[in-house]
Amino acid sequence: MKVLFISLLLSAFISTYFIRFFQKKPIGVDPVGGGPQKFHVRPVPRLGGVAIIFGLFGAGLVLDVLKPVDPKQYWLLLIASFPAFLGGLLEDITKKVGASVRLLFTFVSASLGIFFLQAIVLRVDIPLIDPFFSIYAVAFVFTLIAVGGIANAINIIDGFNGVAGVVSLLILSAIGYVAYLVGDNFVVYTCLAVNGAILGFLLWNYPWGMIFLGDAGAYLLGFLIAELSVLLVGRNPDVSAWFPMVLVIYPVTETLFSIYRKKFLRGQSPAEPDGLHFHMLIYKRVLGWMVGSKEAKYKVKRNSMTAPYLWALTLTSILPSVILWRNTIALIFFSFLFIILYAWLYWRIVRFKTPRFLHLRGLRDRI
């Protein structure tokens, strides 16, 4: 727990520093307005990823001293994560680094993960497909796409206070739990370190949104989730390859549907932002009874009220996955079940037919 505690403290401290000194700086700050995905009411530093990586460095020093696991693996993982983090950080600072360039940086990180840690996908637990993964080129390319896709997916869902941070926290907790069951201590301690850094960031991010995760933080967390998933499955044959897939099914479904919606339904570039992500529909239509208010305090409250809906949605996939982590058939079933649930909810909400159970009765009067 010392790893988690030190990581939390450093992340919270660096977050405090950015909040105190960077709100009025032109570097790494999100201004008010400027796009369909901007819902904050004051300039906010988007350097939460820097706070998280400082927390991870602190956790690494603790591992160096206590040595509950080989600290060399931990440092190699952080080195591998740096290109993904750097690509996002450059976007946070300059606003000129496109999604394709950030994805390329993440591919470099995935390549380093393969080189340093042998973090490569060698099975997907589908008999007709698994033989192809004995071909190194196939496994290499698939790993790059999988890692880059998950990193980008975490960035896609990072739209409101507490969404990407808590979703990542839940996913990493599930990975750490199963790693504990199979005795993979490296994955356990790394999950503790990352979760500590996330918690330190969340102290200031949720509910008031005083600091944002930023692209650096989203890509860093997405990369670490992907790498720890690959390592867990690769080193522990009892863990189904579909276990991490079910864990990330919400951000992956959101990403794939966003590409389909933009490319084929709206005729625009998948990289172009729009206001029709699932989390935005929750904000605008499920919590729409407050949309008309222009007061800052109501906008912030509505922002923070969006996240718990996405946490609950994530738990519908995480809870069965931690119970059925060895059962590939059941995990595949729950993957498809989640996709059906997502599509049904999206269809209902976008057509102003929001299911009644999503409305919080009496909440408007209390707020």
What are 255-300's pLDDT values in tens digits?
Answer: 999 998 887 777 787 777 777 889 989 988 888 665 555 666 667 7
Most confident range (mean pLDDT) of 30-39, 40-49, 74-83 is: 74-83
pTM above 0.95, yes or no: no
- Which residue in 209, 203, 221 sits closest to 306, CA to CA? 209
- The per-residue pLDDT for 34 is 54
CB 208 within 8 A of CB 161: yes
Alpha carbon distance 104, 324 (integer Å)? 34
> What is the pLDDT averaged over residues 231-256?
97
- The per-residue pLDDT for 41 is 57
CB 209 within 8 A of CB 304: yes
- The per-residue pLDDT for 24 is 66
DSSP tally for the chain: helices H, then strands E: 14, 2
CB 206 within 8 A of CB 214: no
Structural domain boundaries in the chain = 2-366
Higher pLDDT, 41 or 82: 82
The model's pLDDT over 112-122, given as tens digits with 9 standing for 90+, comes to: 999 999 999 99
Percentage of residues of the chain with pLDDT beyond 90: 72
> What is the pLDDT averaged over residues 217-243?
98
- The per-residue pLDDT for 62 is 96
CB 56 within 8 A of CB 78: yes
Mean pLDDT of the chain: 90
Give the pLDDT band of residue 229 (cuts 50, 70, 90). very high
- Which residue in 94, 125, 111 sits closest to 243, CA to CA? 125
- The per-residue pLDDT for 157 is 95
Higher pLDDT, 108 or 355: 108
CA-based max dimension of the chain:
61
Exposed (0-12), middle (13-18) or buried (19+): which is 191, by Cβ within 10 Å? buried
CB 285 within 8 A of CB 309: no
* φ, ψ dihedrals at 309, nearest 5°: -65, -40
> What is the pLDDT averaged over residues 230-238?
97
H/E run at residue 44: strand 44-45
The model's pLDDT over 291-347, given as tens digits with 9 standing for 90+, comes to: 555 666 667 778 888 999 999 999 999 999 999 999 999 999 999 999 999 999 999
- The per-residue pLDDT for 366 is 45
The model's pLDDT over 1-19, given as tens digits with 9 standing for 90+, comes to: 899 999 999 999 999 999 9
Encoded tokens for 10? 């450093």
Percentage of residues of the chain with pLDDT beyond 70: 90
- The per-residue pLDDT for 358 is 84
- The per-residue pLDDT for 367 is 45
